[in-house]
Amino acid sequence: MKISKKSVLKFMKSPDYSPSTLKELCRTFKIMKKDQKKKLRAILEELIKEGVIFRDSRGRYRQIGDNLVFGKLEFTRRGTAAYLTTPDGESVFVPIENVKDAMHGDKVVVEIVGRRGLLKKGMVLQVVERALKKVVGVFETRGLFGFVVPVDPKVTYDFYVSSENFGGAHPGQLVVAEVINYPTKSRNPEARIVSVLGDVNDPRNDLPIVMVKHNLPEKFPEDVVEEAKKIPTRVYKRDVKDRKDFRNEIVFTIDGEDAKDFDDAVSIKRLENDNYLLGVHIADVSHYVKENSALDKEAYNRGTSVYLIDTVIPMLPFKLSNGICSLVEGKDRLTMSVEMEINPKGDVVNQEISESVIRSVKRLTYTEVNQLLEDNDKEVEKRLGRDISEKLRLMAELARILRNKRKERGAIIDIKSDEVKIILNDKKWPVDIIPRKRGIAEILIEEFMIKANETVAEIFDKFDLPFIYRVHEEPEPEEIMELKMYLSALGIKATFPKKIHPGALQKLLEATENHPLRSSVERLLVRSMKRALYSETNIGHFGLASYSYTHFTSPIRRYPDLVVHRLLKKFLKSEKLSEEQLEKVRKKLLVVAKHCSERERKADEAEWDLVAMKKVEYISQHIGEVFDVVVTSVTKFGLFVEIPEKAISGLIHISTLDDYFIYDEQRNILVGERTRKVYRLGDKIKARVVSADKIRMEIDFEVVEEEKNEGSSE
């Protein structure tokens, strides 16, 4: 029998197959030579990593399926339980006693052993691939030995360190340790200290903590650096041959003040038929980053740029991201352009996609565009000039039409987000936290990018070509029920149709426009929906109420966008591919989509972690101070509250209240036994900051002036 991955898999899936050892499989395939045995072992290892099979404790290779599932194990924030996520997105609850020696992030095989509510309950059978390579923690000594206590509560082990692996660390210091041995039934994992960061409370250590915790890359490999050096620093005549030339048109960028790379520019014209001609011009990164090059492989591995407050871990070296690929003012740059003719109703009646060249006439900021469009600032108009100012007003007119069109079709457009901007001093201490405001300028760019992404996706969907879509599934009924119950506790009656449409959620947002818990409703709404993902199959985008959507507009910082550009070029050149070649491309895109979805999630988690740490550090400078807070959740052990303008949350423990409070689960309220005082969702109260723990990511408050707060009496 011929040995190949396909033949091995086919045999294992046949009814004749029973779990077999490597020796038994060699006998079946009549393997005698060492190189053939080596090849079979490599095939089996590959199938194990893909989660198709696993090797049990008796050395037999068994298929995943039925009551056996494969996926990534992730512990809860306090490390008290874990959840397995399968490649298909299914969640399996794994109680702490069933995780065995598995750790946070590991890829594991789990046996289904029962149910816990709506979820299946499982037990870890085997760790397929370890995730943790390094750990950040506090170094402690116990006699002649040492231990690293991880700062991440999701990592539930202390790491043993032998005396020769102390690395010059002293007790109480924050260290980075490399894992030498993983845990077993009888012993803790072992590590060696590779660097000493210093004081655990020093905010300058937050960034390295997050980078090690999420295994983010520090530097580009040498071959990538060398390849980047060969990239030209300017656009030559030969580069613009056969490209559509926009250099004599008014094209400009609009970004935040602190933006360093500019991958999108816009242009607009009013046509004689009263339609708009909108141009969205995106940096042509694919011209410089060739498929399978060192630059491309590293960009794929990273998947996305990671934005960590005032630090960027870029997907591409700065020579590209801040240089030749950045659409800087006054410089020729290669682009991919989408021109869309849009009628006054907001319909795209014609479109053209081309390889192009632009020269941005101006680098605009959101602030100055908002000053012009919202405040009619004459000084800004004078500075920008009449031509650019008129273009911006025309863009604002079109953006309103596009936004209303999306609202009509049921898209969720009113999520204001509780995103904040954290201001750091030179020692990385957070000195202020301010809400990020979205004006006309931000909305304008958002609408234009959405329309460009939809236009590109619709072309590939129409011709059924291999593609990477940005998809968003509709929420599960159970999640919508939880949202409905939360709203009911707020006194808001919400009715949802059997088949949830995003328009129903948009109406809900409109109904809670001025509610003090508006941000909490938004967060729960977002949590009730599934994550948007990349997929080679088009299932539409629920939140945008879009039939076809992709990511095309940020190839400097997102790998899927770079892939979309390459696919567009193949399409524009009308490259003919056989059905076999098309299927090969589809299979490759499936892998790319899955990988990029995982990398995006990793980046999001790193960004959230650092922001959370800075929030704790900020509030730690205000211990003893009193803030106006809103009750966002009521539990049997206390009240979760939030400082709305800072988006900082914490707990008022029930033991700190001035009465014995009973939790009424049915009405979701706390009732004082003696005073009959009631605390419920949405109550505005005054609370004093008692403590802030950066390692445990916990903030504690206590109620002050209880007799004056809005907790009501029954």
pLDDT in tens, 646-695: 989 999 999 999 899 999 988 888 999 999 999 988 888 999 999 998 87
d(C-alpha 472, C-alpha 529), whole Å: 9
Residue 79 lies in a domain: yes
Phi and psi at 169, nearest 5°, equal -80, 150
Q: Are residues 339 and 453 in contact, defined by beta-carbon separation less than 8 angstroms?
A: no
Greater model confidence, 499 or 150: 150
Rounded Cα–Cα distance for residues 135 and 146 (Å): 15
Answer yes or no: is 679 within a domain: yes
CA trace torsion 649, 655, 656, 658 (10° rounding) = 130
* CATH classification of the domain holding 181: 2.40.50.700
Q: Does residue 230 have a pLDDT over 90?
A: yes
If we measure between CA atoms, which residue out of 63, 48, 54, 58 comes closest to residue 10? 63
- Total-model pTM: 0.86
Provide the percentage of residues in the chain whose pLDDT is more than 70: 96
pLDDT one-digit tens code per residue, 24-36: 888 888 888 888 8
Alpha-helical segments (H) within 464-578: 477-489, 502-511, 518-528, 559-572
Closest CA to 588 of 567, 558, 557: 567
Confidence at 708, pLDDT banded by 50, 70, 90: very low
Look at residue 528 and give its three-state secondary structure.
Answer: helix
Phi, psi for residue 424 in degrees, rounded to 5: -110, 150
For residue 649, the model assigns a pLDDT of 92
Contact 534, 597 (CB under 8 A): yes
Domain assignment of residue 606, yes or no: yes
Q: Does residue 217 lie within any of the structural domains?
A: no
Based on the domain organization, do 456 and 528 belong to the same domain?
Answer: yes
Q: Looking at residues 504-520, what average pLDDT do you find?
A: 73
Q: What is the mean pLDDT of the chain?
A: 89
Tell me: do 634 and 652 sit in the same domain: yes
Residue among 575, 337, 336 at smallest CA distance from 466: 575
Asked if residue 552 and residue 695 are part of one domain, the reply reads no
Last-in-domain residue among 81, 112, 129: 129
Residue 396 domain-assigned (yes or no): yes
Domain boundary among 47, 63, 79: 63
Tokens representing 234 are 């300017």
On whether both 229 and 343 belong to a single domain, the answer is: yes
Label residue 542 exposed, middle or buried (CB < 10 Å: 0-12, 13-18, 19+): buried
Tell me the per-residue pLDDT of 177-226, one tens digit each, with 9 for 90 and over.
999 999 988 899 999 999 999 988 899 999 999 998 898 998 999 999 99
* Per-residue confidence band for 175, with pLDDT thresholds at 50, 70 and 90: very high
**Band of residue 417 on the pLDDT scale cut at 50, 70, 90:** low
DSSP, collapsed to helix, strand or coil, labels residue 624 as coil
Task: Give yes or no: residues 393 and 516 share one domain.
Answer: no
Range of the domain at 684: 622-713
**Model confidence at 342: pLDDT above 60:** yes
* Same domain? 371 vs 446: no
**Rounded to whole angstroms, how far apart are CA atoms 90 and 371?**
47
Residue 40 has pLDDT above 60, yes or no: yes
Asked if pLDDT for residue 711 goes beyond 70, the answer is no
7 has pLDDT over 90: no
Residues 110 and 125 in one domain: yes
Give the lowest-confidence range in 11-20, 134-143, 601-610: 11-20
418 confidence band (pLDDT: 50, 70, 90): low
Q: Is residue 609 a part of any domain in this protein?
A: yes
- Residue type at 437? K
Question: Are 88 and 139 part of one and the same domain?
Answer: no
**Residue 192's closest CA among 208, 180, 207, 175?**
180
Q: 367 and 286 in one domain? A: yes
Instruction: Tell me the mean pLDDT in the region 424-441.
Output: 92
In this structure, of 174-178, 243-247, 272-276, 520-524, the range with the lowest mean pLDDT score is 520-524
pLDDT of 714 above 60: no
Report the number of distinct structural domains present in the chain. Answer: 6
306 with 374, same domain: the answer is yes
Let me know whether 574 and 602 are in one domain.
yes
On whether the CB atoms of residues 636 and 652 are closer than 8 A, the answer is no
Mean pLDDT of the 520-539 span: 81
**593, 614, 635 - which closes a domain:** 614
Would you say 520 and 644 are in contact if contact means Cβ atoms under 8 Å apart? no
Closest CA to 525 of 405, 651, 666, 418: 418
Q: Retrieve residue 282's tokens.
A: 């995106």
With 70 as the cut, is the pLDDT of residue 710 above it? no
What's the CATH number where 686 sits? 2.40.50.140
Inter-axis angle of helices 559-572 and 440-463, nearest 10 = 50
Alpha helices by DSSP H, 364-466: 366-375, 378-384, 386-408, 440-463
Convert 152-182 to b/e letters by CB count within 10 Å (16 or more is b).
Answer: bbbbbbbbbbeeebbbebeeebbbbbebeeb
Confidence (pLDDT) at 707 = 46
Is residue 432 over pLDDT 50? yes
Say yes or no: 102 and 251 in one domain.
no
Query: What's the confidence (pLDDT) of residue 64?
Result: 84
In a domain, 534, yes or no: yes
**Is 231 a domain residue?**
yes
* Cβ-Cβ contacts under 8 Å for 176 (sequence gap 6 or more): 134, 135, 136, 193, 194, 195, 196, 197, 208, 212
Q: What is the pLDDT of residue 487?
A: 75
